[in-house]
């Protein structure tokens, strides 16, 4: 690991990320990151990273284990995006290679420096688990509320105040970049700060599985189990990565049950509702035990508020007109909004010009998508309807005729007619129906909407889910 990042040269820190080589961009990031953290943290986490390849469109980084990768992405995301080239989704263009030679040695040194909550248990319980690592900026007070996320936000606040006493488990699902991890970490911060005696752990499903493997290999599985099963609050991010990992599903389920039975709090996030995950029935049933809550795409006003809040945090002044321009063109993912803001401010700094609508259009042209209307498909509509109406996609597509399924199916046809430019004929074909069935469904739903407030809300949630304004 000799030529880790500690050795890289020093570049000019203020340049943006457009016209400079990847090696330089990386050097600049290192200089900036080194200033931001303690020498020990630098030594433990950043110095072992090697830049393997800087020539292509992306940087290839060799990391000793997956924790280092996560640490880097969680804690230096802003800096990475400021200095490194970005990919199409506005994320730093990095490919990680995990160095298999060093995998079996996950870092106890790392745990102690980054783990105030767990530190006091270390001497007796030396299970190989990473410490509590939370993104510093993912807190309740930096989370902007809007109709699409209000419910989930108040559920998480309620849980953070009284863990294990209200909804348990809480299952949060929704698309990429909509704030699931943000809220999960907010609970972690709150519990750590306000309930100092409670033991809280926040892990990605990937890290959970990797820890399990490491502990199996190191024959420390009993200590590992003891560690997880004596937590007060367990926060698990991206449970969809448990799909197709049969061996681990059972262990996860056992841990889960052990905790729930002792009224310990669990929150799980996922990109799909429980019923759409390819997991065992036992696991799905456990996930549905408590509260299942959906987080949707924020509406335009909320997107603009988020943008302005992020700009404030970074000390960037962004005219309202520009915030609306970006919010209107980038509707499906909050992370992209941030990426756009970073790119725009880097560009303005690089050329020393003010941020205007013109500069935004010029700089962000490739991120601005064509109006989403044209891109919605019948399949996406069906998926969104299944998710909001909380049923399996297979049921929605299948022959079943229960009242709920029939209504949801009609809603899907209603939305297809509203949102697609296709002919009634071809919409009918996509649903395996005739064009007159589609027309009938449309009329029925329109009538029901007029008198059914709940249905109206559900439909507007589906629209938001699809990135459409309601």
Residues near ligand ADP, by CB under 6 A: 138, 142-144, 149, 176-182, 306, 334-335, 338
Rounded to whole angstroms, how far apart are CA atoms 333 and 138?
16
Query: What is the nearest approach in angstroms of Mg ion to the Cβ of residue 111?
Result: 22
Name the residue nearer to ligand ADP (CB basis): 251 or 338. Answer: 338
Distance in Å, CB of 366 to ligand ADP, minimum: 20
- At residue 331, φ and ψ (nearest 5 deg) are -115, -15
Q: What is the dihedral of CA 364, 367, 368, 372, to 10 degrees?
A: -170
- What is the phi/psi pair of residue 97, to 5°? -115, 125
CB of 269 to Mg ion, least distance (A): 6
Mind giving me the DSSP string for 170-211?
EEEE--TTSSHHHHHHHHHHHHHHH-TTS-EEEEEHHHHHHH
Residue 458 binds which entry of ligand ADP, Mg ion, none, with Cβ cut-offs from 5 to 8 Å by kind? none
Q: Closest CB to Mg ion among 107 and 181?
A: 181
CA–CA dist 464, 54 (Å, integer)? 39
Rounded least distance, CB 155 to ligand ADP, Å: 14
**Closest CA relative to residue 463, chosen from 367, 370, 368, 380:** 380
For 82-166, strand residue ranges (E) read: 94-98
Which of residues 181 and 255 has its CB atom nearest to Mg ion in the complex?
181
Closer residue to Mg ion (CB): 180 or 310: 180
Beta strands in 29-165 (DSSP E): 50-53, 59-63, 94-98
Residue 135 within binding range of Mg ion, rule CB under 5 A: no
Site for Mg ion in 304-363 (CB under 5 A): none
92 binds, among Mg ion, ligand ADP, none (CB under 5 to 8 A by kind): none
Residue number of the CB closest to ligand ADP reads 179
Nearest distance in Å: CB 89, ligand ADP: 11
Q: How far is it, in rounded angstroms, from Cα 91 to Cα 73? A: 10
Picked from Mg ion, ligand ADP, none, the partner binding residue 179 (CB below 5 to 8 A depending on kind) is ligand ADP
**In this complex, which beta carbon is closest to ligand ADP, that of residue 211 or of residue 238?**
238
The set of residues, in sequence order, having a beta carbon less than 8 Å from that of 48 and lying 6+ positions away, is 1, 4, 63, 64, 68
**Contact of residue 417 among ligand ADP, Mg ion, none (CB under 5-8 Å per partner type):** none
Q: Is residue 181 within the footprint of Mg ion (CB under 5 A)?
A: yes
* Residue 241 CB, nearest approach to Mg ion (Å): 11
| Minimum distance of Mg ion from residue 76's CB (angstroms) | 16
User: Between 107 and 135, whose beta carbon lies closer to Mg ion?
Assistant: 135
Q: Max alpha carbon distance in the chain (Å)?
A: 71
Residue positions counted in the chain: 470
Which residue, 181 or 345, is less far from Mg ion as judged by CB?
A: 181
Report the distance separating Cα 132 and Cα 9, nearest Å.
32
Q: List binders of Mg ion among 378-437 (CB under 5 A).
A: none
Q: Of Mg ion, ligand ADP, none, which one does residue 178 interact with (CB within 5 to 8 Å by kind)?
A: ligand ADP
As measured in angstroms, the least distance from the Cβ of 330 to ligand ADP is: 12
User: Is 182 or 417 the residue whose CB approaches ligand ADP more closely?
Assistant: 182
Partner interacting with residue 182 (select from ligand ADP, Mg ion, none; CB below 5-8 Å by kind): ligand ADP
What tokens appear for 114 in the block? 């980054």
How many residues sit close enough to Mg ion to count as binding (CB under 5 A)? 2
Strand ranges (E), 64-221: 94-98, 170-173, 200-204
Q: Between helices 403-419 and 453-465, what is the axis angle to 10°?
A: 50
Regarding 276 and contact with Mg ion (CB under 5 A), the answer is no
- Percentages (nearest 5) of helix, strand, coil residues in the chain: 55, 10, 35
Strands (E), 102-142: none
Are 344 and 317 in contact by the 8 Å Cβ rule? The answer is no
Cα–Cα dist 470/448, whole Å:
17
- Rounded to whole angstroms, the Cα distance separating 301 from 257 reads 41
* Among candidate residues 328, 414, 413, the one with its CA nearest the CA of residue 371: 328
Return the number of the residue (141 or 451) whose C-beta is nearest ligand ADP.
Answer: 141
By C-beta, is 86 or 411 nearer to ligand ADP? 86
As measured in angstroms, the least distance from the Cβ of 429 to ligand ADP is: 34
Residue 335 binds: one of Mg ion, ligand ADP, none (C-beta under 5 to 8 A by kind): ligand ADP
| Contacted entry of Mg ion, ligand ADP, none for residue 463, CB cut-off 5 to 8 Å set by kind | none
Least distance to Mg ion, CB of residue 199, Å: 23
CB neighbours of residue 123 within 10 Å: 8
Binding interface with Mg ion (CB under 5 A): 180-181
């Amino acid at each position: 690991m000799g030529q880790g990042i500690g050795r890289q040269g020093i570049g000019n820190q203020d340049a943006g990320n457009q016209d400079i080589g990847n090696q330089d961009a990386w050097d600049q990031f290192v200089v900036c990151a080194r200033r931001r953290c303690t020498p020990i943290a630098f030594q433990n986490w950043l110095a072992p990273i090697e830049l393997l390849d800087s020539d292509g469109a992306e940087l290839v980084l060799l990391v000793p284990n997956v924790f280092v990768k996560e640490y880097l992405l969680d804690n230096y995301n802003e800096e990475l995006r400021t200095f490194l080239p970005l990919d199409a989704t506005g994320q730093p263009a990095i490919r990680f290679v995990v160095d298999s030679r060093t995998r079996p040695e996950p870092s106890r040194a790392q745990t102690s420096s980054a783990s105030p909550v767990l530190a006091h248990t270390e001497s007796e319980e030396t299970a190989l688990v990473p410490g509590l690592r939370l993104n510093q900026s993912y807190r309740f007070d930096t989370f902007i509320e809007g109709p699409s996320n209000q419910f989930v936000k108040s559920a998480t606040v309620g849980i953070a105040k009284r863990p294990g006493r209200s909804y348990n488990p809480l299952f949060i699902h929704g698309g990429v970049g909509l704030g699931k991890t943000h809220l999960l970490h907010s609970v972690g911060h709150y519990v750590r700060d306000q309930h100092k005696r409670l033991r809280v752990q926040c892990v990605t499903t990937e890290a959970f599985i990797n820890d399990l493997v490491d502990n199996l290999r190191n024959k420390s599985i009993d200590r590992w189990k003891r560690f997880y099963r004596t937590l007060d609050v367990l926060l698990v991010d991206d449970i969809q990565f448990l799909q197709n990992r049969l061996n681990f599903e059972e262990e996860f389920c056992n841990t889960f049950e052990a905790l729930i039975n002792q009224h310990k709090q669990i929150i799980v996030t996922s990109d799909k509702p429980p019923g759409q995950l390819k997991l065992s029935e036992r696991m799905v049933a456990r996930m549905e035990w408590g509260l299942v809550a959906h987080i949707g795409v924020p509406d335009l006003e909320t997107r603009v508020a988020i943008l302005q809040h992020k700009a404030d945090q970074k000390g960037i002044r962004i005219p309202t007109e520009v915030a609306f321009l970006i919010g209107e063109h980038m509707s499906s993912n909050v992370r992209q909004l941030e990426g756009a803001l970073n790119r725009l401010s880097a560009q303005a700094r690089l050329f020393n010009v003010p941020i205007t609508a013109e500069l935004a259009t010029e700089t962000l042209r490739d991120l601005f998508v064509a109006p989403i209307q044209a891109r919605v498909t019948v399949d996406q509509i069906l998926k969104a309807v299944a998710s909001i109406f909380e049923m399996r996609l297979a049921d929605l597509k299948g022959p079943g005729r229960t009242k709920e399924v029939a209504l949801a199916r009609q809603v899907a046809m209603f939305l297809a007619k509203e949102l697609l430019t296709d002919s009634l004929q071809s919409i009918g074909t996509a649903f395996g129906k005739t064009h007159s069935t589609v027309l009938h469904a449309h009329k029925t739903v329109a009538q029901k909407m007029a008198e059914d407030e709940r249905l109206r809300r559900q439909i507007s949630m589906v629209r938001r889910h699809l990135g459409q304004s309601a």
